[in-house]
Structure 1
Amino acid sequence: MNQRLRRLFLSLSSCKQPIRTDRHRISQPEAYKRRLKRSREKPATMQVKVGIIGGSGLGDLDILEEKTEKNVDTPFGKPSDVLILGKIKTVHCVLLARHGRGHTIMPTNVNFRANIWALKQEGCTHIIATTACGSLQEEIQPGDIVIIDQFIDRTTKRHQTFYDGCSASPVGVCHISMADPFCRKSREVLLDVVKKLGIRHHEKGTMVTIEGPRFSSRAESLMFHQWGGDVVNMTTVPEVVLAKEAGICYSSIAMATDYDCWKEHEEAVSVEKVLKIMKENANKALSIMLTAIPQIASMDWSDTVKSLRISQEGSVMLPKH
């Protein structure tokens, strides 16, 4: 079972066909080595397909044409909701509501592994995620967009890898690099778009991801501010980590809704305030994606995807036989 899932995972990490073995069956480590060698020699031909993960207040974005719903399952269970397949102009896209379309799933209970696996299984080469967040710095004002480039993980209860040794897990242990968690090339596209659209934004930022579902205490919020965190949310980790393991180009549009609670003389964060700002700024996210996704699809991503795949495959330690 584990070997079959391992082969499936590797096949989903490229546009090539899964490894086939002859009657004598090549051992998995040997097949892995041959596949890695081939992936370095030949660039994969690929078609861009973009997964869109809608966060708080943006789980039901009306952004796709020719929409169809698809109910899927994964080795890690059901994703948060049905996949909504469609197009933005001519670009194939898949929309998934992170918390369910009725926002019924709290952050700790989001099945991040199923969500990412489902998008990979559907052929997504890219993910653009939206997320509400609190600002930890004076210059990031409510309503601003932050194209985040780093994270600090303060979660405690979440599965952060596909390779955890359970029955659904691919074979091996994965030590994926998180030096650069977010896709640089995707971020460059998003930054180019927000500049052209004249949207107030910040070119980089460190996201502090807390476990939730509660908001931070004032002491915690002040600590994150003093650490140099720029924004705080409850979902970037492990989503970005799993996307990297899956070999997907992942980027995030973070929308500041408040100053959390570190700032004196400022109203503390509340659900009402978050949803109000997200509703007011939903059009920003729509405009960014409607412009960025066709631009992403017009670019050559072969080297980027190949590099991700090599990094992912090279991060997996296989058992010795």
Structure 2
Amino acid sequence: MLAIIGGSGLTQLSTLEITHREVVRTPYGEPSGALTFGELSCTPVVFLARHGYGHTIPPHQVNYRANLWALKQVKASAVVSVASVGGIRTDFAPGTLVIPHQIIDYTWGRKSTFFEGAEESVRHIDFTEPYDAKLRQRLLAAAAAAGEHVFDGGVYAATQGPRLETAAEINRLERDGADLVGMTGMPEAALARELELPYAALSVVANYAAGRSASEHAIQFDSIELVLQEAMIRVRCVLEHLCKA
């Protein structure tokens, strides 16, 4: 069963034929909300809104451990993350879809491992390639089948939020090699790896990152909403073809 975690702009899957919802308890507290079960293109799917179904949970307060644990508990076989990002690269314009291949983590203070505490021994995971290669290829194939152009690869910078970055911070991220900037990519990807859940991301560029727009000095939030509304139609199409494969 495929799990889909929706971020800003995807608090529900309108094409999901819902069968039931389930509240899942975890040793790590409450997930962002009840899990929504159903079928997408005749394939079993479980959906979770990362920020809650009313979009009330900021990025730094998402209970990433509870979310991933709950999905593992209900027998999810893989996780696709959908999230909005800012485009640092000039060709990552608003509305662009990207399947990133690498992560740089700038977050702090988040619960980032299941292996801690007096009763847990320290364990290390190989995180050389943070996204599952086979799941990434499935996403790329689904996008091609849907006729949707996506960029294959990009370095995702995970920042703390909830505020957006300064222009100087974006300059720093670019010097570090980042192509995209978002607030929810970590520790989500690492926790999925700890649980041995194949994990990949479909990033939606909602806006140019700070200081990257040629026409505006400040980010216009009204235009972000319009971009996300259009882009999420394409995202749903890609997900439907992913489930058909």
- Smaller-chain TM-score bracket: over 0.9
Partners of 1:149 and 1:292 in 2: how far apart?
A: 18
Letter in 2 for 1:234: M
Q: What residue number does 1:124 align with?
A: 76
How far has the Cα of 1:58 moved from its partner? 0.3
3-state DSSP of counterpart to 1:237: coil
Q: Does 1:278 align with 2:228?
A: yes
Do the aligned residues in 1 keep the contact of 2:18 with 2:36 (CA within 8 Å)? no
Q: What residue number does 2:127 align with?
A: 178
Letter in 1 for 2:160: E
How far has the Cα of 1:264 moved from its partner? 5.4
Name whichever structure is richer in helix by fraction.
1
Do the aligned residues in 1 keep the contact of 2:148 with 2:238 (CA within 8 Å)? no
Letter in 1 for 2:238: I
Q: What residue number does 1:303 align with?
A: none
Partners of 2:131 and 2:158 in 1: how far apart?
A: 15
Do the aligned residues in 1 keep the contact of 2:146 with 2:241 (CA within 8 Å)? no
Q: Unmatched 5+ residue regions in structure 1?
A: 1-48, 296-321
Do the aligned residues in 2 keep the contact of 1:136 with 1:262 (CA within 8 Å)? no
Q: What residue number does 2:158 align with?
A: 209
How far has the Cα of 1:265 moved from its partner? 2.8
RMSD between aligned residues: 1.4
How far has the Cα of 1:121 moved from its partner? 0.2
- Which of 191, 194, 208 pairs up with 1:245? 194
Q: Does 1:98 align with 2:72?
A: no
Q: What residue number does 1:218 align with?
A: 167
How far has the Cα of 1:118 moved from its partner? 0.2
3-state DSSP of counterpart to 1:236: coil
Q: Does 1:50 align with 2:7?
A: no
- Which of 201, 206, 209 pairs up with 1:260? 209
Partners of 2:190 and 2:176 in 1: how far apart?
A: 21
Deviations 1:238-290 (A, max 9, x none): 10000000110101100011111132534233443332211111111100000
Instruction: Give TM-score scaled by structure 1 length.
Output: 0.73
Q: What residue number does 1:8 align with?
A: none
3-state DSSP of counterpart to 1:215: coil
Whose radius of gyration is greater, 1 or 2?
1
How far has the Cα of 1:195 moved from its partner? 2.2
Q: What residue number does 2:92 align with?
A: 140
3-state DSSP of counterpart to 1:274: helix
How far has the Cα of 1:90 moved from its partner? 3.3
Partners of 1:174 and 1:160 in 2: how far apart?
A: 13
Partners of 1:231 and 1:278 in 2: how far apart?
A: 16
3-state DSSP of counterpart to 1:51: strand
Partners of 1:141 and 1:292 in 2: how far apart?
A: 24
Q: Does 1:188 align with 2:140?
A: no
Q: What residue number does 1:72 align with?
A: 24
Name whichever structure is richer in strand by fraction.
2
Letter in 2 for 1:278: L
How far has the Cα of 1:181 moved from its partner? 0.7
Deviations 1:74-129 (A, max 9, x none): 00001001000111233221100000011000001000000000000000010011
Moved more, 57-66 or 209-218: 57-66
Q: Does 1:61 align with 2:10?
A: no
- Paired residues, number: 244
Q: What residue number does 2:180 align with?
A: 231
Do the aligned residues in 2 keep the contact of 1:56 with 1:275 (CA within 8 Å)? no
Partners of 1:262 and 1:175 in 2: how far apart?
A: 37
Partners of 1:74 and 1:173 in 2: how far apart?
A: 21
Partners of 1:90 and 1:200 in 2: how far apart?
A: 24
Instruction: Give TM-score scaled by structure 2 length.
Output: 0.95
Partners of 2:221 and 2:57 in 1: how far apart?
A: 15
